[in-house]
Structure 1
Amino acid sequence: MSEVGHGEGDGMPAGGHLLLIMRHAQAEPGVAGGDRMRPLSLQGRHQAEHVGRGLARHGWTPDRIVCSGATRTRQTLDQMLDSFGDGPRVDYREGLYSDGTQALLDELSASRSEDGILLVVAHEPTVSYCSRLLATTGSDGDGPGRLGLGMPPAAVACLISERPFSHWGLHSARLCGVFGWRDWR
């Protein structure tokens, strides 16, 4: 895992705001209640725990978390929360399941300027599409190429900008990387 522009040991991005856009962990294939009700698989619970511990280990404990209301995203976040302690504010938004890209962009607009690290737990194709929309053309590594293929379960796109989230727009943040759940070990 590369070091992604965070401050010296305090977990805050150096002079910036870090957005972590995560696809929910692996879910069961189908259930009687429909797509919205699909729970995490055993592997998915394991993936989510790894990501939560990895983020905390790197000092990237979110100030705020926004999570889709679908069962698999809520369960993903539940597996991660112990790693973050009591710090993050958590909001559940049905729109992150039903309204896609616009719902995620609306959450950025509604963010407070003191939010240094924001974690969004949502779904494909919203997570990869929004990451591509927000990333500058000169972003690092193979991240933009990986996003074009979609993000696998429990993957996290990390974007950073000096501006507060409420001032982000198209191509306004540097994509630091796209990390799979195994990258956080």
Structure 2
Amino acid sequence: MKLKLIMAGVFCTLAGFSTVLAQSNARVEKIQGIETYVMCEPLRAYETVFEISSGAKAASLFTGGVVNEGVSDKASQFVRRASKQGKNDNKEFDAVVISGSKTAIAVKFKGDGGEKGMAKVRKIDGLAVYVMNEPLKDYETVVDASGGLKAKSYFTGGIVNNSIEEDIEQFVRRVKKEADEIKKPIDAVVYSSGKRAIGVKFK
């Protein structure tokens, strides 16, 4: 009897662990045909080929900081820079990994493609955050939030812009606030493109 109870406990623990993994893993999108890992870590082992840095955002500069690119625009800029730099330096790479700061890396994967396009997302304020990647687990939308003016860009005339991570942190705060206001719990924040993110509950 004790053995059965122990085995049942083990299975419950494993089932719970599998659910947690499913809720924190994602399938990434491709930008210009290149796997792009935004604020998430590839499940495959990799090595860094070269580093990519971002520059001033043209839209923000020309409008004195009133218009600032969204997260997807910033990610696309990293990929364009990586493609250009790779061609100029004759360096091949498989994907771009963007930590969320104002730098990114072009990487080459090791071994076979067993977990191609798969990543583990990070958490902000206790919530799993899916940035330009899709959760493996089904979910339903609880709240919908759109972004506003980026204060840093406005007060510096477009010279200093938010990093991707700072933009996403704003989305998380806004989504959490809206979820709290309607008293509905959420498991994660999902950002796909533009200046909009959603708070979701996994099924």
TM-score, scaled to structure 1:
0.24
More strand by share: 2
TM-score, scaled to structure 2:
0.23
